[in-house]
Amino acid sequence: MSGVVVQNIQRASLDVIDALARCGVATVHEAQGRTGLLASYMRPIYAGARIAGSAVTISAPPGDNWMVHVAIEQLKESDILLLAPTSPCEDGYFGDLLATSAQARGCRGLVIDAGVRDVRDLTEMKFPVWSKAVFAQGTVKNTIGSVNVPVVCAGAAVNPGDVIIADDDGVCVVPRLNAETVLAAAEAREAMEGEKRSQLAAGVLGLDMYKMRERLEKEGVKYV
Amino acid sequence: MSGVVVQNIQRASLDVIDALARCGVATVHEAQGRTGLLASYMRPIYAGARIAGSAVTISAPPGDNWMVHVAIEQLKESDILLLAPTSPCEDGYFGDLLATSAQARGCRGLVIDAGVRDVRDLTEMKFPVWSKAVFAQGTVKNTIGSVNVPVVCAGAAVNPGDVIIADDDGVCVVPRLNAETVLAAAEAREAMEGEKRSQLAAGVLGLDMYKMRERLEKEGVKYV
Amino acid sequence: MSGVVVQNIQRASLDVIDALARCGVATVHEAQGRTGLLASYMRPIYAGARIAGSAVTISAPPGDNWMVHVAIEQLKESDILLLAPTSPCEDGYFGDLLATSAQARGCRGLVIDAGVRDVRDLTEMKFPVWSKAVFAQGTVKNTIGSVNVPVVCAGAAVNPGDVIIADDDGVCVVPRLNAETVLAAAEAREAMEGEKRSQLAAGVLGLDMYKMRERLEKEGVKYV
Amino acid sequence: MSGVVVQNIQRASLDVIDALARCGVATVHEAQGRTGLLASYMRPIYAGARIAGSAVTISAPPGDNWMVHVAIEQLKESDILLLAPTSPCEDGYFGDLLATSAQARGCRGLVIDAGVRDVRDLTEMKFPVWSKAVFAQGTVKNTIGSVNVPVVCAGAAVNPGDVIIADDDGVCVVPRLNAETVLAAAEAREAMEGEKRSQLAAGVLGLDMYKMRERLEKEGVKYV
Amino acid sequence: MSGVVVQNIQRASLDVIDALARCGVATVHEAQGRTGLLASYMRPIYAGARIAGSAVTISAPPGDNWMVHVAIEQLKESDILLLAPTSPCEDGYFGDLLATSAQARGCRGLVIDAGVRDVRDLTEMKFPVWSKAVFAQGTVKNTIGSVNVPVVCAGAAVNPGDVIIADDDGVCVVPRLNAETVLAAAEAREAMEGEKRSQLAAGVLGLDMYKMRERLEKEGVKYV
Amino acid sequence: MSGVVVQNIQRASLDVIDALARCGVATVHEAQGRTGLLASYMRPIYAGARIAGSAVTISAPPGDNWMVHVAIEQLKESDILLLAPTSPCEDGYFGDLLATSAQARGCRGLVIDAGVRDVRDLTEMKFPVWSKAVFAQGTVKNTIGSVNVPVVCAGAAVNPGDVIIADDDGVCVVPRLNAETVLAAAEAREAMEGEKRSQLAAGVLGLDMYKMRERLEKEGVKYV
């Protein structure tokens, strides 16, 4: 089941990917029916990054980053590395050397359900990472895993080539084949939000804007 | 038990509230006998904010933010929204649209024993939030709760109208009727701290300043 | 077992200590055989600090910071305070007054497997702290502990006088007698990393640089 | 704020208390509008106990069980000790000696948002405990707290004299003045459940028994 | 994305399912290449149960068990209910009434990445449950979800009709189409284990039985 | 630093070890000054076991149980295996085959700051285990560690040959050279406890037995 490297994965179009990044995690997640979020413990190592890219997935044993090297060869411009350990682990699989190598191949960032280290260097390099932990603990290169196989990462099922969106709110995965549809829904949602924001800023209440008063009364809410 | 919205709550005087904000969480907490702190997992979404205000409380079901809309109507200038879910939840009940609405009514910030999202926008808006999680997970509007009822939020009992103080150290609640007394104690404490700080900066040891040596000896401490 | 203050501990040479700080936690940890890290929950209160110093250790009861005052007297220029509670605790043992006192004696920072408070002041003072929690909860001064005895802090065994290195990646302890050897290994490692970084930045793959292809094949990795 | 022992608290009638015990935690919690539960981490040290009693509350510092001795004097026949530490702690405040003393005064059990020890002895004595942890860690008797003051215990607000119900599902608190009303609702609920159980056992579906099909259709559920 | 109930799912043969149950979780997990385990926090409510069955999956909102009623109608003899909330939740979605209904339809047990209640009754009924929490917290029936759609439950991807195996070691999922192959591998593994167990019981060392000494030496292990 | 197997460790006398087991964890921990406890998350896989033995320590990489096989050869009659992973891990390093092998060499049990599996078999074999998790997740045999070196296990420093005591209250370590002294103190403590227990059972209050009333008054406790 391990020991497989899939070389030719399909990717969504870069235009769609970049447009999803602009929408951001919260909007994209809403636009695809409130699905696709990774767990809330996945936090960025620095604030302000907002990226999207195609997932090159890594299934790696706990405490062993051998497959990261294998995965880096599979990266294409604009991809995102996404690592799921085969059992819970917070070791620092990834640091500035691997980031240098990944960045040289056009990689936009790392999503890892484990630890990362050299975060000061990564911040200076502007290589964004969303991780479960920051931990200097080193890893070995003794046991194989797989690259570009389906994984569950921080509670979300991810297939290679799926679109990953990540920002200060966390990380969201959009299945590759849904990317265009989700983008359309996300952009529609954004358009509507502008109008709503103006009204709310002007003091209109959500209760009125969303016409909630009657339904609240029916549910039995009492003002005292 | 749910489905109640209390409309006319009493508040402490704004002068007292603002003065408590200046004292900060650690001092206020000490001044009221080391009570009133919310759990340490309540963290600010950005560093540097220090606010105080009157609590408009929300008791909401897990994953349902309907009552936030109801609560916003109850906000008065300088209030703070405080949400306690009826069971543990880290969903993102609150984002930039609700913040826009709350800010339009003079709300100073949010304290939520659950999740928040759109944190990049909230940071730009200077709308501070103390939360258990940052999580883009959306919520529904299907089940009612209550507004301005007593709640337990992150381990602290809060009544509507109580004074909430929040800064980088966390969040503290001061019962409304104690606000003036606690302020007096906090300011007295601050006055004393200035003097102590000078002495300590000059190299005087706490052991001497607090006259601890004799008591340590009596307790049996041995220097070897 | 408690109630002991050891006054004359030995320290590593300051040159070695400062050089270890420059290497940083991840490199030092690797250089001593991937040992010595404190748990990943030990996080800095602000980003960017990188320090090293000799450990003045504190074994303190939960919720009681009396021994911190005792420890401060034992500080020498360039030391680091390191506190381990005798049972799990996240109270705020330490704030700006104690930091003022410690800084006046040349202390470089605090490592505490518990809570810290006044973090805004500590940040302004440039007094770095690595802690398990930020928590305003106050402590008492009623029960004695010990200073400069061996402790286990966040999962790592620390002896007084051991070298503590701390940065954005976490905290590492180097036994005093190994400090020079570990430094040599760390610097050798750093030297090598520069060369590797250049190659990786130029697009050379880790697979080739580390000659991994043959071994991967032997382990049965299949490219599909 | 600490250092108070309230001696004459009021209690609900023992008939009501005992009847609430028979209903059990899940039913009582439903009967009072899904409120009053302590956090799910409060687990019994052995399976099968189901008790109710009036709360004698203890507010104690972390790692200090002095107030437990004070509280035991306040116990009356059929009471339950309930301890909330002033900050998170899992030390073993309570063991077989204290249980012997409490049992001698008619105490029915302990609810503690901290640790307990000697659990083998307590199990043999049939002295039930619901706790956050089992931990042999000892405590001191150096710092005072309070007895029979309002506390927040494991996320629930408890007043002295409130009725505590505890069984394998956890712990629930019923405000003393509501005890009779809640009991009536709980018993009504139980009566209804017998009928429902028979129907469900006979193969009637909840979908039909609760007439859910139409509402599901209206909400848009699609059978495919 | 929600609001779907798939009615005709395919199942593995009951012979294969029952044989997988006899092998147990640890063996089955090994037999399919160390994959398929749910997170270790999924614990049985009582010791000693060992079951297997076809998964009828439920995707439910936090704190809302409406879909459980819908799912029960889809149960066939020997199935297992498996519930994944759409965001983390530990509410008690399931108690003795639902268990009565499920058992009446031949359901063998429940796997739920959330809470369960009435555990004393469930234990008496011999209705086994593996859950994240025991929590009496009630739920509502206001928001729809889906039944028999793919879910991620406690970190494992599960499709409707997959085989679930659960015992004291936890829970494992075997994709339906792999069930026979995995069973063959599991039984082969079991056969071998009997022989190994006899040798080990007789005092033969694993070092010798697995011929590890030479490889250990090559890796540099030193006996001192 | 890894790759060492120390073959001839010293052990405490078996009489002392067995007498410490009879005292139990809580008493022994008190008798050595409230030190030596492992973290409270170390729980027994079944209730009622109470053992003591000499520690054969294992330092193992995450997810790799190769060194367990090496350690078993080092076991002598009455020893206890104690495993500390080099970074946090909850994989199931140990199951019924290893237990069979260890038991054949006289091993009394396992203490593991990680996971264990086959717990039903281990329970039937009466092979007690104290672990951080029960988890079927398998491990590999690719990376070496060490046997009989000092480790930190669940927060406690353990040297090979130290006495481990484990029962339903958790696990305690007694340094080998202190074993006799601690036993004397533990037995003295036990003797005293019998007398105290009789008095408390007869209704004497701890307040009187320990003469606490005056000191409470001095500390300012007020009865109201």
Reading the block at residue E151, the tokens are: 């879910």
Query: Burial level of E194, CB count in 10 A (0-12/13-18/19+)?
Result: exposed
**Shortest CA distance to C58 belongs to which of F42, B204, B221?**
B221
| Residue reference for tokens 């050897």 | C181
Mean pLDDT of E55-76: 98
As separate numbers, helices (DSSP H) first and strands (DSSP E) second, chain B gives 8, 12
Residue D170 to chain E, least CA–CA distance (Å)? 7
Please tell me the total number of residues recorded for chain C in this structure: 224
The answer to whether the Cβ–Cβ distance between A220 and B104 falls below 8 Å is: no
Mean pLDDT of C179-193: 96
The residues of chain A scoring below 50 in pLDDT are: none
Give the pLDDT score at E1.
57
Q: Which chain F residues contact residue E169 at CB under 8 A?
A: 92, 117-120, 134-136
Asked whether the beta carbons of D131 and D42 are under 8 A apart, the reply is yes
Tell me the angle at which helices D179-201 and E96-104 cross, rounded to the nearest 10 degrees.
0
Mean pLDDT of C77-105: 98
β pairing state of B156-158 and B109-116: unpaired
Give the pLDDT score at B131.
98
Q: Which of C26, C210, C219 sits opposite A95 (nearest CB)?
A: C26
**Shortest CA distance to C190 belongs to which of C20, C2, C3, C27?**
C27
Q: Which chain C residues contact residue A4 at CB under 8 A?
A: 221-222, 224
pLDDT digit string, tens, across residues F166-194 = 999 999 999 999 999 999 999 999 999 99
The answer to whether the Cβ–Cβ distance between D100 and F220 falls below 8 Å is: no
B216 in contact with D, Cβ within 8 Å: no
CA Rg value for chain E: 20
Judged against a pLDDT cut of 70, whether residue B1 lies above it is answered with: no
The answer to whether the Cβ–Cβ distance between D101 and F200 falls below 8 Å is: yes
Nearest-5° angle of CA F6, CA F10, CA F14?
Answer: 135
| Residue among C32, C34, C173 with most chain F CBs within 10 A, to mutate | C34
Contact present, A and D (at least 3 Cβ pairs less than 8 Å): no
Asked whether the beta carbons of F22 and F142 are under 8 A apart, the reply is no
Residue B133 to chain E, least CA–CA distance (Å)? 12
Judged against a pLDDT cut of 60, whether residue E73 lies above it is answered with: yes
- pLDDT band at F36; cut points 50, 70, 90: very high
Asked whether the beta carbons of C160 and C80 are under 8 A apart, the reply is no
Mean pLDDT of D26-47: 97
Tell me the angle at which helices E179-201 and E14-23 cross, rounded to the nearest 10 degrees.
30
The answer to whether the Cβ–Cβ distance between D87 and C135 falls below 8 Å is: yes
Cα distances (Å, whole numbers) of residue E46 to B8, D124, F96, F223 = 50, 20, 21, 45
D7 in contact with F, Cβ within 8 Å: yes
Residue E82 to chain A, least CA–CA distance (Å)? 16
Mean pLDDT of B98-117: 98
Asked whether the beta carbons of A53 and A163 are under 8 A apart, the reply is yes
Euclidean distance between CA atoms B93 and C37, whole angstroms: 37
Nearest-5° angle of CA D170, CA D98, CA D26?
Answer: 10
Euclidean distance between CA atoms C161 and C177, whole angstroms: 9
As a whole number, the mean pLDDT across chain D is 97
Q: Residues of B numbered 42-101 whose beta carbons fall under 8 angstroms of chain C's beta carbons: which are they?
A: 43, 47-48, 50
DSSP conformational letter for D177: G
As a whole number, the mean pLDDT across chain E is 97
Nearest-5° angle of CA E62, CA E65, CA E67?
Answer: 110
Euclidean distance between CA atoms B176 and B165, whole angstroms: 12
Q: Which of F72, F96, F133 sits opposite E206 (nearest CB)?
A: F72
Q: E56 - beta bridge partners?
A: E81
Instruction: Dump the DSSP string for D121-146.
Output: HHHHHT--EEEEEE-----B--S--E
* Chains in contact with C via at least 3 Cβ–Cβ pairs below 8 Å: A, B, D, F
Q: Which chain D residues contact residue E3 at CB under 8 A?
A: 219-222
Helices (H), ranges, chain A: 14-23, 25-31, 66-74, 96-104, 119-125, 179-201, 206-209, 213-219
Asked whether the beta carbons of B208 and C109 are under 8 A apart, the reply is no
Euclidean distance between CA atoms F80 and F111, whole angstroms: 7
What three-state secondary structure class fits C132?
Answer: strand
Q: Which chain A residues contact residue F87 at CB under 8 A?
A: 63, 89-91, 135, 137
Candidate from C1-5, D170-174, F112-116 with smallest mean pLDDT: C1-5
A156 in contact with E, Cβ within 8 Å: yes
pLDDT digit string, tens, across residues B141-175 = 999 999 999 999 999 999 999 999 999 999 999 99
Asked whether the beta carbons of E13 and E163 are under 8 A apart, the reply is no
Query: For B105, left (φ over 0), alpha (ψ -120 to 50), or beta?
Result: alpha
Give the pLDDT score at D1.
58
Q: Hey, what amino acid is at E211?
A: K
Euclidean distance between CA atoms B178 and B157, whole angstroms: 14
Number of Cβ within 10 Å of residue F187's Cβ equals: 16
Give the pLDDT score at F1.
57
The answer to whether the Cβ–Cβ distance between A206 and B136 falls below 8 Å is: no
Q: How many CB pairs under 8 A join B and C?
A: 104
Give the pLDDT score at C75.
98
Q: Which residue of E has its CA nearest to A32?
A: E1
Residue B138 to chain E, least CA–CA distance (Å)? 9
* Chains in contact with D via at least 3 Cβ–Cβ pairs below 8 Å: B, C, E, F
How many alpha carbons fall within 13 Å on the CB side of residue F178? 18
The answer to whether the Cβ–Cβ distance between F206 and D101 falls below 8 Å is: yes
Q: Which of D37, D167, D212 sits opposite E69 (nearest CB)?
A: D212
Q: Which residue of C has its CA nearest to F86?
A: C35
Instruction: Dump the DSSP string for chain E.
Output: --SEE--------HHHHHHHHHH-HHHHHHHTTS--BPPTT-EESSTT--EEEEEEEEEE-TTB-HHHHHHHHH--TTEEEEEEESS----B---HHHHHHHHHTT--EEEEEEEE--HHHHHHHT--EEEEEE-----B--S--EESS-EEETTEEE-TT-EEEEETTEEEEE-GGGHHHHHHHHHHHHHHHHHHHHHHHTT--HHHHTT-HHHHHHTT-EE-
Euclidean distance between CA atoms A120 and A126, whole angstroms: 10
Judged against a pLDDT cut of 80, whether residue D207 lies above it is answered with: yes
**Shortest CA distance to B163 belongs to which of B146, B145, B180, B151?**
B180
pLDDT digit string, tens, across residues E138-162 = 999 999 999 999 999 999 999 999 9
Q: Which of F62, F90, F135 sits opposite A91 (nearest CB)?
A: F62
| Residue among E64, E94, E100, E143 with most chain D CBs within 10 A, to mutate | E100
Number of Cβ within 10 Å of residue B13's Cβ equals: 12
Contact present, B and C (at least 3 Cβ pairs less than 8 Å): yes
Residue C89 to chain F, least CA–CA distance (Å)? 12
Q: Hey, what amino acid is at C94?
A: F
Query: For C193, left (φ over 0), alpha (ψ -120 to 50), or beta?
Result: alpha
